Amino acid sequence: MRDALAAWLDGMRALDGASEHTIAAYAQDLRGFLGFIAGHHGGAGGLRQIAEITQSDLRAWMASERAGGLGSRSLARKLSALKSFARWLAEREGFDISPILAARAPKFSRNLPRPLSVEAARDVIAMAPLQSRDDWTGARDAAVITLLYGCGLRVSEALGLTGRDLPLRDSLRILGKGGRERLVPVLPAARDSVAAYLRACPHPVEPDMPIFRGKRGGPLSRRHVAKVMEAARLQLGLPATATPHALRHSFATHLLAAGGDLRAIQELLGHASLQSTQIYTAVDTTRLMEIYAAAHPRAGQ
């Protein structure tokens, strides 16, 4: 079973381009499930252990996870990992895994992203450099925040840019989650912001070094970006949902509100499936209904 699990994870990594974070989560999920089943039946089993799983076993496992405080979303993810592994194993060994495939994931409400308004996003960009005592670090923070909102980058993607990506042109090639590559348009404001930072930065630009550096010259940390965003939102009176990642949500939501095509936004964000991008249509509709409720003279009657 251990060898089969390792082979499946290797296939996920090589064929599906799953990230190391995803691989580690799947491995933990499956080992936890197999450990429960072994204890539930009074001993470790081999590969046939998967074929002999019943709906009663699955209900007992899910009840145990719930009793341990696991939420519906996390339990649904674990069940998804189990089904994926079981399908792979069934194809190799000829098992009947109908009970596993028939198991229903618990329902959960999908949390909608909380984008900033256009005005709030602009205010955050203006406020970011004011959180630093040094001109060059202030310019750096403004450049990072501008890239998150102006290009829809993840924090890791912005901080992963190196000297090889310079000078910034009209588009930027980004290697995102799962090794998926995409081209992202770079607005003049983002190029100008990065150029202003580079002119002020005391550390030399090197091809294999990150563009964004800490005070001592090392790579800038995600935690620092989060602290800058936190300070800016407190000063602007924005909610706790105004995080660095919320700028990426804002990028997508504002594009959609301006008439952007959902497929194009999917490509810009680097989502593997359109389902991940479609959540922004729900955000847009929610905002529309809020405006309606606040503005329509008969909405409150």
129 and 278 in a single domain? The answer is yes
User: Alpha helices, DSSP H only, in the chain?
Assistant: 2-15, 20-40, 48-51, 55-67, 72-93, 98-102, 118-127, 135-151, 155-159, 188-200, 222-236, 244-257, 262-269, 274-295
| Angle value at C-alpha 26, between 92 and 173, nearest 5 degrees | 105
Q: Which domain holds residue 56?
A: 2-102
Q: Give a yes or no: residue 107 inside a domain.
A: no
For residue 152, what pLDDT is reported?
87
Catalytic: which of 140, 248, 249, 254? Answer: 248
Q: What is the pLDDT along the chain (301 residues), one digit of tens a residue?
A: 888 889 998 888 777 666 777 888 889 999 999 889 888 877 666 777 888 889 899 999 999 998 988 888 788 889 988 999 999 989 988 888 898 988 887 775 555 557 888 899 999 999 999 998 899 999 999 999 999 998 889 899 999 999 999 999 998 888 877 677 888 888 899 999 999 999 999 999 999 999 999 999 999 999 999 999 999 999 999 988 899 988 988 888 888 777 777 677 777 777 666 565 666 655 555 555 554 466 545 554 4
Q: Is 41 a catalytic residue?
A: no
For residues 78 and 33, the answer to whether their CB atoms sit within 8 Å is yes
145 and 284 in a single domain? The answer is yes
- What pTM was estimated for this model as a whole? 0.60
Q: Which amino acid is at 36?
A: F
Q: Is 271 a catalytic residue?
A: yes
For residue 291, what pLDDT is reported?
46
156 and 274 in a single domain? The answer is yes
Catalytic: which of 140, 154, 191, 213? Answer: 154
Final residue in a domain of this structure, among 71, 102, 133: 102
For residue 292, what pLDDT is reported?
47
Element (H, E) at 168: none
For residue 183, what pLDDT is reported?
84
| Domain containing residue 98: CATH number | 1.10.150
Catalytic: which of 77, 177, 203, 287? Answer: 177
Q: Give a yes or no: residue 275 inside a domain.
A: yes
Q: Give a yes or no: residue 149 inside a domain.
A: yes
Q: Is 249 a catalytic residue?
A: no
SS3 assignment, position 185: strand
Q: Give a yes or no: residue 172 inside a domain.
A: yes
158 and 238 in a single domain? The answer is yes
34 and 155 in a single domain? The answer is no
Phi, psi of 35 (to 5 degrees): -65, -40
141 and 239 in a single domain? The answer is yes
For residue 273, count CB atoms less than 10 angstroms from its CB and return exposed for 0-12, middle for 13-18, buried for 19 or more.
exposed
For residue 43, what pLDDT is reported?
66
Q: Is 2 a catalytic residue?
A: no
Q: How far apart are CA 187 and CA 278, in angstroms?
A: 24
134 and 279 in a single domain? The answer is yes
Q: Is 298 a catalytic residue?
A: no
Q: How many domains, in total, are found in the chain? A: 2
Q: Is 107 a catalytic residue?
A: no
How would DSSP label each residue in 222-238? Answer: HHHHHHHHHHHHHHHT-
Least Cα distance to 234 among 149, 144, 128 occurs for 128
For residue 297, what pLDDT is reported?
56
124 and 48 in a single domain? The answer is no
Q: How far apart are CA 96 and CA 162, in angstroms?
A: 50
Q: Give a yes or no: residue 47 inside a domain.
A: yes
Final residue in a domain of this structure, among 68, 102, 136: 102
| Domain containing residue 197: CATH number | 1.10.443.10
Q: Give a yes or no: residue 164 inside a domain.
A: yes
Q: Give a yes or no: residue 112 inside a domain.
A: no
